[in-house]
Structure 1
Amino acid sequence: LADGYIHLSTAEQLTETVDKHFAGQSDLHVAAVDLGSFGAGLKWEESRGGQLFPHLYGGPLLLETVIAYGPLERDADGRVKLPVAG
């Protein structure tokens, strides 16, 4: 709310985002969303290390845009696993 948009991360950015902003927290969940459903409300903006991150402006993140979700789990290498739909 303070920034005026919802911060999102790509699959490739997810582990670093979780490690940086949610370190030590438990009971986290991951939601995969259909970025194409946001239209002009989605803006790719430079952030951490010059990477482009998706930011959702001008509205709520609707449940119908969520294509998969689940508890945050990591693989053997410590990378956050993406949720599986269905």
Structure 2
Amino acid sequence: MQIYKVLRAPEWAQMQRDGQTAGAPVDLADGYVHLSTAEQLPVTLEKHFANVDGLVLLACAAERMGAELRWEPSRGGALFPHLYRPLAMADVLWSRPLPLQDGRHRTGDLA
């Protein structure tokens, strides 16, 4: 199953340099890496990244994350994927820019 992480360009550059990331400031504060399913991603973008340009979308393989990936209630009681270890480059299936067009992020085909 693919799940998704949104990073700002400097966070993505750091991850590429170091081979892993503990995530954005919100991830560090909460103690886990916040991820989203394809269905959750549009609201995540609207709520946390509205009008933020220069984002990168990472598709990650949930099955590579093992027991450190937990599905926990969050927004509206929905189960969200939370990773209780750094997100590693080995978890990433692909990455691509998330363009901002007319005030909205275009995720395109997530396959």
TM-score (norm 1): 0.83
Runs of 4+ in 1 over 6 A off after TM superposition: none
* AA in 1 matched with 2:35: L
User: What is the Cα deviation at residue 82 of structure 1?
Assistant: 4.5
Q: Is 1:63–2:63 an aligned residue pair?
A: no
| Contact 1:5/1:56, CA 8 A, preserved across alignment | yes
1:10 is matched with which residue: 30, 37, 41? 37
2-side partners of 1:10 and 1:43: how far apart? Answer: 13
Query: Could you tell me the percent identity over the aligned residues?
Result: 51
Q: Is 1:41–2:59 an aligned residue pair?
A: no
Structure 2 unaligned runs (5+)? 1-27
Structure 1 unaligned runs (5+)? none
User: What is the Cα deviation at residue 2 of structure 1?
Assistant: 1.3
1:35-84 CA-to-partner distances (Å, cap 9, x unmatched) read 11111100000011111000000x2100011001101147xxx6632456
Mark the CA change 1:41 to 1:35 in structure 2 (over 3 Å): closer, same or farther: same
- Number of matched residues? 81
User: Which structure dedicates a bigger proportion of its chain to strand?
Assistant: 2
| SS of residue in 1 equivalent to 2:81 | strand
RMSD of Structure 2 on Structure 1 (CA): 2.0
User: Which structure dedicates a bigger proportion of its chain to helix?
Assistant: 2
